Structure 1
């Protein structure tokens, strides 16, 4: 699921977050102000307050697609995910393949590696150091600048990625994005 969300940019609503275990409770929008007030007055009673204010969880749209997500987004190789979607003749697979076709191949490969490595990191500081390194390198690279141009500046929604295909994004290219910074540039916790 994490790989699906990271690659497609799909968003989960409240019911979906509850369904997949990201959220512990489901509250209707109308209950949020009361929840905040009651929690600020009784921070030691969060679980009980949320339990009292929880509403009936609507059907989660994602439920019908979890098996497909597990099947098609299981690999940590972007090319494998694309090939699996391409090989399937369902409308769902075609839609997701089309979505991935609009994304920067470099960014997709970075996201998959980030998820894989992040799962093995021992601390939040390690994860933040990795995030900072990636951001430091990516902010000056073509695809970031091109994405900003295409989506924010010119608004033509027609980015020209470089490298243009997943096969053209080498392991060395991605290694450079994850490369450590000099000692004075590395992220350090305060």
Structure 2
């Protein structure tokens, strides 16, 4: 079965299931434009196929997907041809997954970040193994938590989504299950048997009841209480101030403050606003908002500087512009959210 994914993504119809496998393990299954378009075609076909009851997305190798192909994005942007259509198609796919009429099961074993989150966590069942890790680390490369993070993260209790957005920190499967990011956890060794049973029945909920293995929350209650206290503050300035006041006597506050201090100030302001706004927006509205931000990011400084520091000159320190939170004005932030008029995202 071929939806023109080449050797980057594979499609199979097994029993009652449409199986999607990301096949770029050497690149940690970073999502490419070809993969996005192929998956969109597959979902369009399978949603209307009476022989497909459920769609499963999984991956080869040690990562589910470490995000988008940011080196390609960097090179295209630096050449004066920022890949706006890549993101437009990606965001449309994210929205399609969220409203997909059949069960959509993401089977996540290994790291899932950025673009990988976009093709997995908007599905109906998000299944993680003990090897899985989740992160939205975009503020660390001068970007913002996109691919529907503004719809996904605000719903997490205890301001946990705001914490993940502003720090970019990784969490494991237990925290993902506790927070509601994951709907189920299973053992890595059970993946093949789970898929066989799912293909035979086409009924993910009944199959998951047989394979579900509860996962303990990894983050201590005291830390969760600190996250809720600090990250529920009514502005980014208030969050940082709350952490600063506690940092002298609280290791968590000191570590978190240090982490935030390495992130792009512009990205932090944008992430705080988008996660706050997303609480009252639909998925489609979030994707349109993110597309507005994206267009401004691709013509800005920090995104390319962040990729340079992380990927091109590995391990170097990015030079953010502006360099401090105080130097980012409300007008600067407003500009990222301004209408695009005839260039708005069409869903």
* Within-5 A mapping of 1:123-134: 123-134=282-293
- RMSD, matched Cα: 1.4
Write the mapping of 1:69-108 to structure 2, written as runs, cut at 5 A: 69-88=227-246, 89-108=249-268
> Which of 25, 30, 53 does residue 211 from structure 2 map onto?
53
| Structure 2: distance between partners of 1:71 and 1:157 | 33
Distance 2:301 2:234 in 1: 24
Count of aligned pairs between the two proteins: 185
Aligned residue for 1:81, secondary structure, equals helix
Specify every segment of 5 or more residues in structure 1 that has no aligned partner in the other structure, as ranges.
none
Spell out the pairing of 1:1-190 with structure 2 (5 A cutoff): 1-43=160-202, 45-57=203-215, 59-64=216-221, 65-88=223-246, 89-121=249-281, 123-183=282-342, 185-189=343-347
1:137 and 1:186 map into 2 onto residues whose CA distance is: 12
CA apart distance, 1:39: 1.7
Alpha-carbon distance, 1:76 to partner: 4.3
Using the size of structure 1 for normalisation, the TM-score is 0.91
Q: 1:120 is paired with a residue of what secondary structure?
A: coil
Contact kept in structure 2, 1:76 and 1:112, CA below 8 Å: no
TM superposition shift of 1:37: 2.5
Which contiguous aligned blocks of 4+ residues in structure 1 show a shift greater than 4 angstroms? Answer: none
Gaps of 5+ in 2: 1-159
Structure 1 residue 105, shift from structure 2 partner: 1.0
From the two aligned structures, give the one with the greater helix fraction. Answer: 1
The answer to which structure, 1 or 2, has the higher relative contact order (CA under 8 A, 6+ apart) is 1
Instruction: State the TM-score, normalized to the length of structure 2.
Output: 0.51
* 1:26-75 CA-partner distances (Å, limit 9, x unpaired): 211111222223223222x2112111111242x32224321011011112
